[in-house]
Chain A
Amino acid sequence: MSAVFEQIFQVGFLAAIIRIATPLAFATLGEMFSERAGVLNLGIEGIMLLCAMAGFTAASLSGSLWLGVLVAMLVGALMGALHALFTVALGLSQHVCGIGVTLFSSGLAYFLYRLIFGQQSVPPSIDGFKPVPIPLLSDIPVFGPAVFNQFTLVYLAIVAVPLAAFVLYRTPWGLSVRMVGENPRAADSAGVSVMATRFQAVILGGALMGLAGAFLTMAQFNAFTFGVVSGRGWVAIALVVFGRWDPWRSAGAALLFAFVDALQLRMQASGLGHIPYEAFLMLPFIFTIVAMAFMSRNAVAPSALLKPFRREER
């Protein structure tokens, strides 16, 4: 048994946690911005898939990984704008439109992928991002190689968390986002455009979801498959609640989920082979449900979440 644990707790394990957490962190921050402004974006799963596909395609056609990332973010922003058009401008049901966006984006991703790459026996792959060790920091024992010998996108995620907290809590725009998510009428009477603020937040959220998708196909797997997102978007929605709509807590939630996910991967690979691997696959999700049940019972969502805002309505 101790051999199992030795195998689990090592540099590779820590690095795996960070790697698994990165797309979750991007997606969770994206969903958090959207929800903080009062817009639930259930399109996240499909947006991530479409962006994963778009980024991969752009990178593979142009040969530039960063162009791929940019395209993924743009597509994400565009899908965010589409969701905002339905839910903010037209005030339609956020649940229904979000699911619609997911179905539409997923379908579009499959369709375009087939159109561009055809049906191949081995899915095409690209030469993805390579780990970039940070001088000095990566020499710290255990922690260094795990955290500071990673993809540039991982570093970007690490920077994105404090940046998101700064934007949300310290800038006038962040205050506007929080205000339109709590009481849009108050924001409106203070001269803040509720519609513009919500659009911006949902679009920013979409771009972050795009980054999450890009990471999957250009750093983690270096190929696009239809199952590449496999529920990570839905998990991000749970993590936002678990993280109580706060950037730091959301990132913490992503790390915790990644820890359990990395753990189950190791357990699959280790000497516990007599248990079907599906049981291990379930672990992170069971963990999420249990953790949510205990930790998020008094989490309070933004008051105006799911509520469209119409001005002349009395």
Chain B
Amino acid sequence: MSAPLIEMRGITKSFGAVKANEAVDLSVAPGEILGLLGENGAGKTTLMNVLFGAYAPDAGDILVEGKPVAIHNSADALAAGIGMVHQHFHLAPRLTVLENLLIGIPGKSGRIDRAGGLSRLKEIGRQYGLSLDPNLPVSALSVGEQQRLEIIKALFRGARLLILDEPTAVLAPSEVDGLFAALRSMAAQGLGIIFISHKLNEVRALTHRCVVLRHGKVAGRVDDPANTTSAAMAELMCGHEIVPPVKEASTPGASVLTLDGISTAGHAGTPLRDVSLFVRAGEILGIAGVSGNGQRALADVISGMLPPKTGAMTIAGKTVAQFSPRELQALGLGRIPEDRMTTGLVTNLPLADSMVLPRIGTEAFSRKGLLNPAAIRAFAEAQIKAYDIRCPGPMVRAGALSGGNLQKALLARELAFDPKVLIVSQPTRGLDIGAARFIHEKFLAMRARGCGIIVIGEDLEELLMLSDRIAVMYEGRLAGTLSGAEATVARLGLMMTGAEGHA
């Protein structure tokens, strides 16, 4: 076998006392798709940042085609043929596609080489089937297109090894297929690819070989991911067996949330059109659908952020008179928003403050108009303990927590007040298996206690596992509702495209 395209030997990198990477070996051959698996915080991103020159390793060597190279910054990495697609895109939204491609590329006789850039872009389009309108501003592109631009950008600079950091986290399921097709075509043409993910089904479908990291060390290698079970790989990632949570049979009680003919207007996304649904006590209702079919409007109406144009809503038998988050919360609604960082909590404030924010004016946390810092702190400390939220303490900046811990904090904040209805959007997006399992268990525990839960999500397998009934949204309407027994991925998939309606 020829020399590997890239080889990393004994890479060690510490941040203070934390060893993010310890003696990690890894190699990628031309034409190979290598999966890099691990829980959040296992050191995947750190390792790739070392390879891309963002961090200097404390020890270890990087070899490109058998020759040792020193990579001190991204320019060195690019020169060595390493391109990276970061989880958060590195694009300037107001510049055009072409300008984003040409940044850092030397010009021709002092000018930006537009013609050369255009022909190179066309060539990449032909070779790998990746194309974009060069004159569009990046802000006009969808997330999937922006990701394509990032890939094109790496190829444009002559990358022979492409690192993709959790590329599917931001994509809709239909976009994932397109991405995989492009990656396979690139590998077939001799490029090496490192695919970072913690989604086992994706890794099994796409990669040729896997390296699993745990606590910064290589926990195992999988030579045949397609024929290795997800359970075996999950065990490597977590270090222990993962038992799916048990959903006990339950008899739903009376309806705790009812929507009757709700329509909306004046919202950024798809409006709701005549949506009626109900959730009973002790029941989980899943809302499936391709992103952008009105899920956001639904979540906003139910959380009180968007007053509907027509229709009525009742919570625990009481008709909602005034749509405001505080009003609905008083009626017994808990909510976990889709975007933890913006509508979930205040990233620059201490975690404790974010954890009491929705109830900051209540008796529990303030007296006579003054905050009660001791009560706030005590509440946060108790929740941190109860939910095993890994953080230095309640006064740490909320934005410093990992996604899984933030989600636990949000969950703790709502569940502490024993809501009658809970609305959650994308509850486990971006979370690793362990954290996701924890969240699922909490939902099922709430269900057992008689809470009615609405889960809006795109991950059909998750919805199937949790839900007692699943409703499908299509273009702002409910395309139908299936009972847990009727629902299958195939059937839901059809309804999501509007092909099948069901009463």
Evaluate contact between B107 and A189: CB separation under 8 angstroms: no
Evaluate contact between A191 and B110: CB separation under 8 angstroms: no
Once the chains are docked, how many angstroms separate the CA of A161 from the CA of B236?
62
Does A249 sit within 8 A of B, measured CB to CB? no
Question: Please, which residues of chain A bring their CB within 8 A of the CB of B90?
Answer: 183, 185-186, 188-190
Does A179 sit within 8 A of B, measured CB to CB? yes
Evaluate contact between A303 and B54: CB separation under 8 angstroms: no
Does B243 sit within 8 A of A, measured CB to CB? no
Question: Please, which residues of chain A bring their CB within 8 A of the CB of B111?
Answer: 170-172
Does B100 sit within 8 A of A, measured CB to CB? yes
Evaluate contact between B93 and A182: CB separation under 8 angstroms: yes
Once the chains are docked, how many angstroms separate the CA of A175 from the CA of B101?
11
Kindly supply a per-residue 1/0 record for chain A positions 153-174, scoring 1 wherever the CB is within 8 Å of any chain B CB and 0 otherwise: 0000000000000000011101
Evaluate contact between B75 and A179: CB separation under 8 angstroms: no
CB closest chain-B residue, reference A304: B92
CB closest chain-B residue, reference A186: B90
Once the chains are docked, how many angstroms separate the CA of A248 from the CA of B90?
29
Does A176 sit within 8 A of B, measured CB to CB? yes
Once the chains are docked, how many angstroms separate the CA of A171 from the CA of B54?
27
Evaluate contact between B54 and A312: CB separation under 8 angstroms: yes
Interface residues of A in 264-314 (CB under 8 A from B): 300, 303, 311-312
Kindly supply a per-residue 1/0 record for chain A positions 196-232, scoring 1 wherever the CB is within 8 Å of any chain B CB and 0 otherwise: 0000000000000000000000000000000000000
Evaluate contact between A175 and B103: CB separation under 8 angstroms: yes
A207 to chain B, nearest CB (A): 19
Evaluate contact between B103 and A171: CB separation under 8 angstroms: no
A185 to chain B, nearest CB (A): 5
Evaluate contact between A182 and B74: CB separation under 8 angstroms: no
Interface centre among A176, A178, A185 (most CB of B within 10 A): A185
Among candidates B54, B104, B112, residue contacting A190 with C-beta atoms closer than 8 Å: B104
CB closest chain-B residue, reference A170: B111
Evaluate contact between B104 and A192: CB separation under 8 angstroms: yes
Does A263 sit within 8 A of B, measured CB to CB? no
A sample of 15 inter-chain contacts (CB < 8 A) reads A171-B111, A172-B105, A172-B107, A174-B112, A176-B103, A182-B93, A183-B91, A186-B91, A186-B100, A188-B74, A189-B86, A190-B103, A190-B157, A191-B74, A303-B92
Does B84 sit within 8 A of A, measured CB to CB? yes
Does A54 sit within 8 A of B, measured CB to CB? no
B469 to chain A, nearest CB (A): 41
Once the chains are docked, how many angstroms separate the CA of A183 from the CA of B89?
10
Among candidates B78, B92, B110, B112, residue contacting A182 with C-beta atoms closer than 8 Å: B92
Question: Please, which residues of chain B bring their CB within 8 A of the CB of A312?
Answer: 54-55
Binding site for B on A (CB under 8 A): 170-172, 174-176, 178-179, 182-183, 185-192, 300, 303, 311-312
Question: Please, which residues of chain B bring their CB within 8 A of the CB of A188?
Answer: 73-74, 90
Question: Please, which residues of chain A bring their CB within 8 A of the CB of B3?
Answer: none
Evaluate contact between B110 and A171: CB separation under 8 angstroms: yes
Interface residues of B in 77-105 (CB under 8 A from A): 78-79, 84, 86, 89-95, 99-100, 102-105
Evaluate contact between B112 and A178: CB separation under 8 angstroms: no
Question: With contacts defined as CB atoms under 8 Å apart, how many contacts are there between chain A and chain B in the complex?
Answer: 76
Once the chains are docked, how many angstroms separate the CA of A188 from the CA of B84?
12
Interface on chain A toward B: helix, strand, loop, or mixed SS? helix
Evaluate contact between A300 and B103: CB separation under 8 angstroms: no
A170 to chain B, nearest CB (A): 5
Does B296 sit within 8 A of A, measured CB to CB? no
Question: Please, which residues of chain A bring their CB within 8 A of the CB of B102?
Answer: 172, 175
Interface on chain B toward A: helix, strand, loop, or mixed SS? loop
CB closest chain-B residue, reference A300: B94
Once the chains are docked, how many angstroms separate the CA of A182 from the CA of B75?
19
Does B106 sit within 8 A of A, measured CB to CB? yes
Evaluate contact between B103 and A186: CB separation under 8 angstroms: yes
CB closest chain-A residue, reference B73: A191
Question: Please, which residues of chain B bring their CB within 8 A of the CB of A176?
Answer: 103-104
B42 to chain A, nearest CB (A): 16
B72 to chain A, nearest CB (A): 11
Once the chains are docked, how many angstroms separate the CA of A175 from the CA of B91?
13
Question: Please, which residues of chain A bring their CB within 8 A of the CB of B153?
Answer: 190
Question: Please, which residues of chain B bring their CB within 8 A of the CB of A175?
Answer: 95, 99, 102-103, 112
CB closest chain-A residue, reference B79: A191
CB closest chain-B residue, reference A166: B111
Evaluate contact between A179 and B92: CB separation under 8 angstroms: yes
Interface residues of B in 43-92 (CB under 8 A from A): 52, 54-55, 73-75, 78-79, 84, 86, 89-92
Question: Please, which residues of chain B bring their CB within 8 A of the CB of A190?
Answer: 74, 78, 90, 103-104, 153, 157
A313 to chain B, nearest CB (A): 11
Question: Please, which residues of chain A bring their CB within 8 A of the CB of B107?
Answer: 171-172
A18 to chain B, nearest CB (A): 30
Once the chains are docked, how many angstroms separate the CA of A299 from the CA of B89?
24
A216 to chain B, nearest CB (A): 32
Evaluate contact between B112 and A191: CB separation under 8 angstroms: no
Evaluate contact between B103 and A192: CB separation under 8 angstroms: yes
Evaluate contact between B94 and A182: CB separation under 8 angstroms: yes
B471 to chain A, nearest CB (A): 39
CB closest chain-A residue, reference B113: A172
A128 to chain B, nearest CB (A): 34
A221 to chain B, nearest CB (A): 37
CB closest chain-B residue, reference A311: B54
Question: Please, which residues of chain B bring their CB within 8 A of the CB of A183?
Answer: 90-93
Evaluate contact between B112 and A170: CB separation under 8 angstroms: yes
Question: Please, which residues of chain B bring their CB within 8 A of the CB of A178?
Answer: 92, 95, 99
Among candidates B73, B86, B91, B112, residue contacting A171 with C-beta atoms closer than 8 Å: B112
Closest 7 CB pairs of A and B: A191-B75, A182-B92, A190-B104, A186-B90, A172-B107, A183-B92, A192-B104
Question: Please, which residues of chain A bring their CB within 8 A of the CB of B105?
Answer: 172
Question: Please, which residues of chain A bring their CB within 8 A of the CB of B106?
Answer: 172
Question: Please, which residues of chain A bring their CB within 8 A of the CB of B78?
Answer: 190-191
Given contacts A171-B110, A175-B95, A188-B74, 9 further A-B contacts (CB under 8 A): A172-B111, A175-B99, A178-B92, A178-B95, A178-B99, A182-B95, A183-B90, A183-B93, A189-B90
Question: Please, which residues of chain A bring their CB within 8 A of the CB of B91?
Answer: 183, 186
Question: Please, which residues of chain B bring their CB within 8 A of the CB of A172?
Answer: 102, 104-107, 111-112
A268 to chain B, nearest CB (A): 43
Once the chains are docked, how many angstroms separate the CA of A183 from the CA of B92?
5
Question: Please, which residues of chain A bring their CB within 8 A of the CB of B99?
Answer: 175, 178-179
Question: Please, which residues of chain A bring their CB within 8 A of the CB of B103?
Answer: 175-176, 179, 186-187, 190, 192
Interface residues of B in 116-153 (CB under 8 A from A): 153
Once the chains are docked, how many angstroms separate the CA of A175 from the CA of B102?
8
Question: Please, which residues of chain A bring their CB within 8 A of the CB of B75?
Answer: 191
CB closest chain-B residue, reference A181: B92
Once the chains are docked, how many angstroms separate the CA of A9 from the CA of B483?
82
CB closest chain-A residue, reference B104: A190
Question: Please, which residues of chain B bring their CB within 8 A of the CB of A192?
Answer: 103-104
Evaluate contact between A191 and B104: CB separation under 8 angstroms: yes
Kindly supply a per-residue 1/0 record for chain B positions 153-180, scoring 1 wherever the CB is within 8 Å of any chain A CB and 0 otherwise: 1000100000000000000000000000
B34 to chain A, nearest CB (A): 21
A171 to chain B, nearest CB (A): 6
Kindly supply a per-residue 1/0 record for chain B positions 195-229, scoring 1 wherever the CB is within 8 Å of any chain A CB and 0 otherwise: 00000000000000000000000000000000000
B92 to chain A, nearest CB (A): 4
Once the chains are docked, how many angstroms separate the CA of A200 from the CA of B190?
40
Once the chains are docked, how many angstroms separate the CA of A179 from the CA of B111?
16
